[in-house]
Amino acid sequence: MRETDGLIDLRSDTVTKPTPEMRRAMAEAEVGDDVLGDDPTVRQLEELAAARVGKEAALFVPSGIMANLVSLLTLTGRHDEVIVGDQSHIYTSEVGGLSLLGSVFLHVLPNQPDGTIPLERLRGAIRNQVYTPRTRVISLENTHNRCSGAVLPMEYLYAVAEVAKANGVMLHLDGARLFNASVALNVPPEEIAKPFTVVNFCFSKGLGAPVGSIVCGERAFIQEARRTRRMLGGGMRQAGVLASACIVALNTMVERLAEDHALARQLAEGLADISGVQIDPARVQTNIVIFGIDPTTGWDAPRLLERLKAEGILLSLSGTRLRAVTHYGITPRDIDRTLAVLRQILQGRP
C-alpha cells in the first residue's frame, strides 16, 4: 500500500517503497564484506538472479546506469562502438558515461515506435574497417522506456541475434524492466535473455526493492566485470542489507506486475476518451503510458504537469509528452481520480 501522503505518484516505478517483508529481510540480513567476496546474502542473490535468466553468474551493482556501464565497458575497448537506439536509456539518460569513461562511441540508430530498430539498419551500421570504429556490441532495451514500455517481440530478438552472430558482434540487453516483458509475453525470463551475451535488470523499479541492479553473463565475463565495477566505485561492503530486499523482490513481486499492466491499460483507455488527449491505447503493453496534449486545448505538457501537481497527482515528462507509470502502491481508485482530474482540467471546469 502507498503511504498515506495524499499523493498519487505516477512519475516512475522507481518511487515504490519496500514491502514489509523486504524491510524485515533487510533488518535480519546475514552480511559480510562483498568486495572481499564474504557477503553470503549477495552471493545468494547473484546465484538466484543468474539462474532466473539462464546465465552462469551475476554481479550485484547499485544502479541500472552502473549495470549498463559495467556491462558495456567490460565488453568493449577504447575506440570500439556500441549500436543503440535514439530513444534508448543509454543514449538519452546516462550522461554520455560510456563515451566519457571508456572512449567508446555510441552509434545511434532510430527506434521505431515499438522500440525496435529495423534489421536492415542494424546490418548496415556494423563497421570494422581500418578507418572506422569497430562495432563490438548491439544493445537493445526491453521493455522500452521511451516507447511507452513496448515489449520487443521474441522473433525480433532472435532475428537481431542472427545479425549479430553473422557479423561477430555481441548482444547486450538493457533489461531494466525485463520481468515486465516476461509477464506481458507470458514467456520465462530466461527465454528472453537467451540470445544475449550479457543481460542486466533492475530490482528497484516494478519489483519494488529500494536499491540495486544486476549484470548476468558467463562466469569469466562476470569476473572481469567485478574489476570494472571496482573502477566505477561500485564495490559495496555489507551489501547483503540491500541484496536481501532484492531476493524478496525476485521471489514475491514478479507475478503481481500484471496488476500494473492492467492499471496502465485502464489509464490509457480512459485517456483515449478525454477530448484533447493524444494517445493510442494499443501501444500500451506494460506499465508505462505516454500521451500528448492537443495544443488547441490551451495546455501544453509542462503546464499541465504543474497543474496536476497542484491537485496531488505527479506525472513526468517524456520529451514534449506526459508520462505516467503504474507500480506497486497504485490502485484502481488512483487511476479513476487521475482521469477525473484530467478531464476536469481539459474541459475547463473549476
Is 74 exposed, middle or buried (CB count within 10 Å of its CB: 0-12, 13-18, 19+)?
Answer: buried
Instruction: Give the per-residue pLDDT at 6.
Output: 81
Where do we find the cell 471546469? 349
What pLDDT sits at residue 185?
98
Beta bridge partners of 172: 139, 198
How much is the mean pLDDT over the chain? 96
Question: In the chain, which stretches have pLDDT less than 70?
Answer: 1-5, 349-350
Tell me which residue of 213, 225, 216, 212 sits closest to 194, measured CA to CA: 216
Give CA–CA dist 238/321, Å, rounded: 41
What percent of the residues of the chain are helix, what percent strand, and what percent coil, each to the nearest 5?
45, 15, 35
Going by DSSP bridges, is the β-strand pair 288-293/313-314 parallel, antiparallel, or unpaired?
A: unpaired
Q: Kindly report the CATH number that applies to the domain delimited by 8-14+256-346.
A: 3.90.1150.10
pTM of the model: 0.95
Asked if 10 and 315 count as a contact pair (C-beta separation under 8 A), the reply is yes
Helix (H) or strand (E) segment spanning residue 40: helix 40-52
Which residue ranges make up each domain of the chain?
8-14+256-346, 20-252
All 3 cell numbers of residue 200?
542486466
**What is the chain's alpha carbon radius of gyration, rounded to the nearest angstrom?**
21
Q: Tell me the three cell numbers of residue 178.
A: 525485463
Longest pairwise C-alpha distance within the chain? 65
Taking CA atoms, 274 is separated from 44, 226, 302, 338, in Å, by: 48, 50, 18, 12
> Which pLDDT tens digit goes with each residue over 184-223?
999 999 999 999 999 999 999 999 999 999 999 999 999 9
**Pseudo-torsion of CA 276, 281, 284, 287, nearest 10°?**
60
pLDDT digits (tens, 9 = 90+) for 134-164: 999 999 999 999 999 999 999 999 999 999 9
Residues near 124 by beta carbon (within 8 Å), at least 6 away in sequence: none
The rounded distance, in Å, linking the Cα atoms of 210 and 187 is 26
Output the pLDDT for position 5: 61
For 20-252, CATH gives 3.40.640.10
For residues 90 and 68, is the Cβ–Cβ distance under 8 A?
A: yes
Q: Do domains 8-14+256-346 and 20-252 have the same CATH topology?
A: no
Q: Nine-digit cell at 294?
A: 492537443
Q: Which of 236, 244, 249 is nearest to 28 (CA)?
A: 244
Q: Which of 183, 222, 165 is nearest to 199 (CA)?
A: 222
pLDDT for the residue 1: 40
Which residues face 278 on adjacent strands?
292
